Amino acid sequence: MRDYLKFYINGAWIDPVTPKTLDVTNPATEAVAGRISMGSAADVDAAVKAARAAFASYSQTSVAERVALLEAIINEYKKRYADMAAAITEEMGAPAVLSQKAQAAMGVGHLTTALNVLKDYRFSEQRGTTLLAKEPIGVCGLITPWNWPVNQIACKVAPALAVGCTMVLKPSELSPFSAQIWTEILHAAGVPAGVFNLVNGDGPTVGAALSSHPEVDLVSFTGSTRAGIEVARNAAPTVKRVHQELGGKSPNLILPDLDAAGFQKAVTAGVRGVMNNSGQSCNAPTRMLVPNSRMDEALAAAKAAAEATTVGAPDSGAALGPVISRNQWDKIEGLIAKGIEEGATVVAGGVGKPAGLDTGYYVKPTVLAGVNNQMTVAREEIFGPVLTILGYDTVDEAVAIANDTPYGLAAYVSGADAEATRKVASRLRAGQVNINSAAPDLMAPFGGFKQSGNGREWGEHAFGEFLEVKAVLGYAAKQA
């Protein structure tokens, strides 16, 4: 039983202004795994004031000092790696292997990427007699989700620290254990008091107070499009910068020129991409587009891949654990039922829990066929292990269907002809396009078009989110 009842403000663990606790549920067991304190606007104010006071000195630190700090954080993270993985498994129900090899690994990955970018980053350049200087934006409010908890913390905190910002983090109240360990890591690494602060709480209270606070210069939010709109509204009166990484309904185009083996491989990879992390990834390839002439082939491959996907307890060796909460389970089940009601055919999975898993928020790996792009399951982000398969007759039609969505976070395309596949990728309206199941790239910018948000995270592009550009005219004397 974890009791995390203090907030981290100005380099110390302190009690909340008003005591209020929340039980945190392990979604694999439905049992209470721990408690956290729930913050208030007064807690946020104290944290923001600490960050503001610390900004004066931390913003003036040298690159060498910040390099040393990131190196110290990485060293401390590695010491706590097993603790981090265990916390993510407990708070999310993520399979132990996924927590160890993917979830926890992303923390080290983003820290290391930020360190490497910082070493060579140009914070100023001279153009004629004018100096263009990139300076830290100030105090940052960071609001992170539950689905890839330390990934989203690290990809915001690491670049913010690297460029000289100070910050207040509000992690999801559904997955707060990893944020606690992250904070302990930063404290042990010697992050100066006030530079990083942690306040737990919910969106309507702590999130709103953080995004509306006049002393916060930037709010970086990852979560649903609905919540992102509220963050932007709260931020608008103070004209602060708002960075949003929001929802997705990513298309996955399987092109007709693939041979039988390549086609099966692409479909199988697409199914696995949806099922990973129990479908709880904003960039999951949830709309698979296949040629109508090869639909039977696609359905057979998708059915086999889905039915080969094991579901079970985090320590069972199963590929999928539960989804995060009863509310999410109800939403996913309702959308599967809605798809069937609107005419979709169940190829694999369907409503109800998998056999033998009555306790825990488990969902059957589900494939729905006979879907058109106007059905609810093709329009709304399900955020569970549910794939929809849509047919097309021409590549132009496939591209049109792919782009017919309010979202634009990611897109996927598989094809045999490299040039033709690249051309299709160039026509897809998404912030990140993956060709032929390419491996992740932590230096590639991550973010979306349209209602999937604005701004970019990961790698060098993340630095720009936390910087202001200052033009200093007359910095250099004119040449005689």
Q: Which positions are annotated as active-site residues?
A: 245, 282
Q: What is the DSSP letter of 52?
A: H
- Helices (DSSP H) in 121-193: which residue ranges? 149-163, 177-189
C-alpha separations of 48 from 139, 168, 354, 402, 467 in Å? 7, 7, 46, 42, 18
H or E element that contains 223: none
End-to-end Cα separation, the chain, in angstroms? 73
What six digits make up the tokens of 417? 């002809």
**Dihedral sign from CA coordinates of 369, 372, 375, 376:** positive
Contact indicator for 152, 46 with CB cutoff of 8 Å: no
DSSP 96-133: HHHIIIIIHHHHHHHHHHHHHHHHH---EEEETTEEEE
Burial of 216 (0-12, 13-18, 19+ CB in 10 A): buried
β-partners of residue 37 are 21
CA–CA dist 425, 370 (Å, integer): 25
CA–CA dist 212, 107 (Å, integer): 28
Burial of 239 (0-12, 13-18, 19+ CB in 10 A): exposed
CA–CA dist 208, 191 (Å, integer): 26
